[in-house]
Structure 1
Amino acid sequence: MTSPSQKRTPAVHPVDEVPPFARLGAFGLQHVLAMYAGAVAVPLIVGGAMKLPPSDLAYLITADLLLCGVATLIQCVGFWRIGARLPIMQGCTFAAVEPMVLIGTGEGGLRAIYGSVIVAGLAMILLAPVFGRLLRFFPPLVTGTVVLVIGLSLLPVAGNWAAGGAGAADFGDPKNLALAGFVLLVVLGVQRFAPPLLSRIAVLMGIAVGMAVALLAGFADFSAVADAGWLGISTPFHFGTPTFDVPAVAAMLVVALVTMTEATGDFIAVGQLTDRQVDDRTLSDGLRADGLSTLLGGVFNTFPYTAFAQNIGLIGMTRVRSRWVVACAGLILVLLGMLPKLGAIVASIPVPVLGGAGLVMFGTVAATGLATLSRVDFRNRHNLTVVGVSVAVGILPVGVPDLYAKFPNWFQTLMNSGISAACFTAVVLNLIYNHMPARKSSAAQA
């Protein structure tokens, strides 16, 4: 006879655990609030640059939220060989903003954007297995550097939110920074002193308390809620049949390569935070999901999709690693995309409230990169060079946004993304310093 202990089923990995329903909803909402401002930014920027009427702009936003949710479900739940089955939120990539603005303000308009997005999605699906085989070029030296740059490059985003949002009339007003600082203190206080369950939703608690204070202080404006409709579903090719202009397609293919490079770093970072190894197959499946979501984006009037780095820090901070939590967040986004009035309520959260929470989350991402780099042997001076130069290259476009303004568009698309620039640099330098045969003279001197 077998003992009860021998019949015991293996423990479920934290990534596959399904929390109780109440926690599932709270944790999922926390992820939505953490990424909402970034999620709607791309349609706002592109639509604003094209001077679209308010009705079209509202349509772009609801379509984006709907597809963010669908893309997140594809990535987290997965089917066949599509989806990494990791807790990864999906959103529109900022790497595509400038090319899309150039395409959209030209003769092609939105139809040319969507044609190029559809081709980019197909290319990502086809290239996913190729990128999957590149995983061996991402040892801890490279992944730690990339994750560090992801966190550092996101910190200015949190800073802009804390100050009131880039371009806001009251940008930098002390009351904005005071509200962000208050939210930061609430998040830290809940995480440190609250019971374990509440500490895991410290960001949600901070945003809720910050929202209450903002209401009392007259920060929040809910006027847009009354104007929003109750139901709005994105239909395929709402703005007309896509066109396939060669220059537009070429620009978006460059974006696809940059996005896949960034996503590789994001997948590896999530794998490290969740203690689930990202192998060649997982990476290929995740990138294939990005490609499918991007393809659907072109069909349903929105843009290229990728892993949202904003939410990686939330996983590291709360240690809630379940992919079903993020899948729940995807369902919430689908509801927000189908019910514009709900979306308007969430959109009414003052940006400084998100800034205070963002400082904690994005700083956690950077700290995760440092933790990975702690496993690297820095007695080898070559490793110091790889990290130092890669971080410098990755942070330069963040600190000097117009650094590459006079370069060709394809070069700007690649290098203006600090994440892809750092990733490319770290991979190349690691190969040069640690894998190329050393010269005999150098060996003799060593």
Structure 2
Amino acid sequence: MSESDQARIPAPPPRQPLPLLQLILVGLQHVLLMYGGAIAVPLIVGQAAGLSRDEIAFLINADLLVAGAATIVQSLGIGGIGIRMPVMMGASFAAVGSMVAMAGMQGVGLTGIFGATIAAGFFGLLIAPFMSKIVRFFPPLVTGTVITSIGLSLFPVAVNWAGGGAHASEFGAPLYLAVAAMVLGIILLVNRFMGGFWVNIAVLIGMGVGYAVAGMLGMVDLGGLSDAPWLRVVTPLHFGLPTFGLAPVLSMCLVVVIIFVESTGMFLALGTITDREVTPGMLRRGLLCDAAASFVAGFFNTFTHSSFAQNIGLVQMTGVRCRSVTAVAGLLLIALSLLPKAALLVASIPPAVLGGAAIAMFGMVAATGIKILQQADIGDRRNQLLVAVSVGMGLIPVVRPEFFAHLPLWMNPITHSGIAMATLSAVLLNLLFNVLGGAGRERMNQAAHH
């Protein structure tokens, strides 16, 4: 799409700017909900590489720095990069399996992972203009199915948190469940009996009360807070110059393709929630930001980055759709990367507190998908079959992650991602049922115009 075509696209209606305090508080909610995911990838890879606790902390700080900068670029845009929507960025889980394997490979290790990340980011910059043209294959039927699957694939994370954490020794203990239920209950009560500003920060209120109660119950671990430095600057190439091996590079290039597929679904979801048409030009800018973040990440000691699905539900629930909120959240992430004490304080939030909020947030993502499906001809038996099979495919990695254990390792980024499985299934089945043949193309065009 040319720049003149993009200029003719009507701009979204102007919104009243939020007060600074409200911007910060709503932005803090975005940070808290995605923080666990943001630090999980460097934590897992650092442990697999045998790094010390101090080195793992450095990896986490590096990830927060790149995630914050990429979030700002994605939200506000710089030149031709950034979708200019309320998007949060962070290290992608799609690459975890491949990177853990690389960490133990002779001659690869961390520097090989960083080299593969740089090469994959460059590859993403090359293919983003072509990938952005696939938006026409995402009518409401496909988009609704993908977004529903995103919510369902995130929901087990919320349940694990609410039960005390996936590796909790007493998972599901009444204390964890009570704290999670209290946080969820506060969020629901604020939404029911209050309005305006208070609804916008309902999640923060619930988590704040939950954190205080959990602290009084001895559930908050502040170990290491006194030893953490006040200031620590992330330096590039901290672990040495990156190295480039053919197998790691090819593996990470595949990961970037999967990230693009996932991000496309997330961008379309945000477009629906914020009442904006996601054009091929916008999608290209968003995917370029994903790729550029990954390219830069390799130099700054971190990994492939992508747009996070967690914030979709928060945007829907709070109704705060302005991109300045996520830009503020990006600034907060950068501040956390420079202030290890503050980062450790945020990391001390008990999983049960996060779980109570996440049940509402991730459920809202699935609810958004169901709402979009109402725009499609869901009464058609073939469309029902598309939804059924695609949602089922998306749940396979969630229900039994080892289901595809005997397939080649290079397929892991696809088979271990519920979002990728659901997206590929929905797109392919839509091509089979609704695109092949003249009548099918006419139906797809009508759905796209609708």
Q: TM-score range by the shorter chain?
A: over 0.9
Quote how far apart the aligned CAs of 1:15 are.
7.9
Query: What SS does the corresponding residue of 1:224 show, helix, strand or coil?
Result: coil
CA offsets 1:204-248 (integer angstroms, 9 cap, x no match): 000000011111111112122212111111111100000001110
CA offsets 1:62-113 (integer angstroms, 9 cap, x no match): 1111111011011001111100000000011100100001111112110000
Per the alignment, residue 77 of structure 1 pairs with 76
- Cα distance in 2, alignment partners of residues 16 and 243 from structure 1: 47
Per the alignment, residue 202 of structure 2 pairs with 202
- Cα distance in 1, alignment partners of residues 423 and 11 from structure 2: 33
Q: 1:57 to 1:17 in 2, by over 3 A?
A: farther
Per the alignment, residue 155 of structure 2 pairs with 155
1:55 aligns to 2:63 (yes or no): no
Quote how far apart the aligned CAs of 1:417 are.
0.3
Per the alignment, residue 96 of structure 1 pairs with 95
Per the alignment, residue 221 of structure 2 pairs with 221
Which one-letter code corresponds to 2:31 in the other structure? V
Quote how far apart the aligned CAs of 1:132 are.
1.0
Give the number of equivalent residue pairs. 429
Task: Tell which deviates more after alignment, 298-307 or 403-412.
Answer: 403-412
- Cα distance in 2, alignment partners of residues 216 and 115 from structure 1: 46
Is the 8 Å Cα contact of residues 98 and 412 (structure 2) preserved in structure 1?
Answer: no
Which one-letter code corresponds to 2:433 in the other structure? Y
Per the alignment, residue 117 of structure 2 pairs with 117
- Cα distance in 2, alignment partners of residues 83 and 361 from structure 1: 24
- Cα distance in 1, alignment partners of residues 360 and 391 from structure 2: 21
Quote how far apart the aligned CAs of 1:131 are.
1.0
Query: What SS does the corresponding residue of 2:169 show, helix, strand or coil?
Result: coil
Is the 8 Å Cα contact of residues 70 and 330 (structure 1) preserved in structure 2?
Answer: yes
- Cα distance in 2, alignment partners of residues 23 and 289 from structure 1: 27
Is the 8 Å Cα contact of residues 14 and 274 (structure 1) preserved in structure 2?
Answer: no
Query: What SS does the corresponding residue of 1:91 show, helix, strand or coil?
Result: strand
Which one-letter code corresponds to 1:38 in the other structure? G
- Cα distance in 2, alignment partners of residues 55 and 106 from structure 1: 23
Q: Normalising by structure 1, what TM-score?
A: 0.94
Q: 1:303 to 1:15 in 2, by over 3 A?
A: farther
Question: Percent identity between the aligned chains?
Answer: 48
Query: What SS does the corresponding residue of 1:226 show, helix, strand or coil?
Result: coil
Residue correspondence of structure 1 range 401-440 to structure 2 within 5 A: 401-437=401-437
Per the alignment, residue 442 of structure 2 pairs with none
Quote how far apart the aligned CAs of 1:161 are.
0.6
Residue correspondence of structure 1 range 382-397 to structure 2 within 5 A: 382-397=382-397
Quote how far apart the aligned CAs of 1:18 are.
3.4
Per the alignment, residue 21 of structure 1 pairs with 20
Which one-letter code corresponds to 2:282 in the other structure? T
Residue correspondence of structure 1 range 13-412 to structure 2 within 5 A: 13=12, 18-107=17-106, 108-412=108-412
Which one-letter code corresponds to 1:221 in the other structure? D
Query: What SS does the corresponding residue of 2:368 show, helix, strand or coil?
Result: helix
Is the 8 Å Cα contact of residues 237 and 300 (structure 1) preserved in structure 2?
Answer: yes
- Cα distance in 2, alignment partners of residues 286 and 91 from structure 1: 14
- Cα distance in 1, alignment partners of residues 149 and 226 from structure 2: 41
Structure 1: gaps of 5 or more residues: 1-10, 440-446
Q: 1:16 to 1:97 in 2, by over 3 A?
A: farther
Residue correspondence of structure 1 range 2-21 to structure 2 within 5 A: 13=12, 18-21=17-20
Is the 8 Å Cα contact of residues 114 and 299 (structure 2) preserved in structure 1?
Answer: yes
Is the 8 Å Cα contact of residues 27 and 201 (structure 1) preserved in structure 2?
Answer: yes
- Cα distance in 2, alignment partners of residues 317 and 210 from structure 1: 19
Query: What SS does the corresponding residue of 1:306 show, helix, strand or coil?
Result: strand
Query: What SS does the corresponding residue of 1:402 show, helix, strand or coil?
Result: helix
How much is the aligned-residue C-alpha RMSD, in angstroms?
A: 1.4
- Cα distance in 2, alignment partners of residues 316 and 77 from structure 1: 20
- Cα distance in 2, alignment partners of residues 15 and 71 from structure 1: 25
Per the alignment, residue 5 of structure 1 pairs with none
Structure 2: gaps of 5 or more residues: 1-9, 440-450
Quote how far apart the aligned CAs of 1:379 are.
2.6
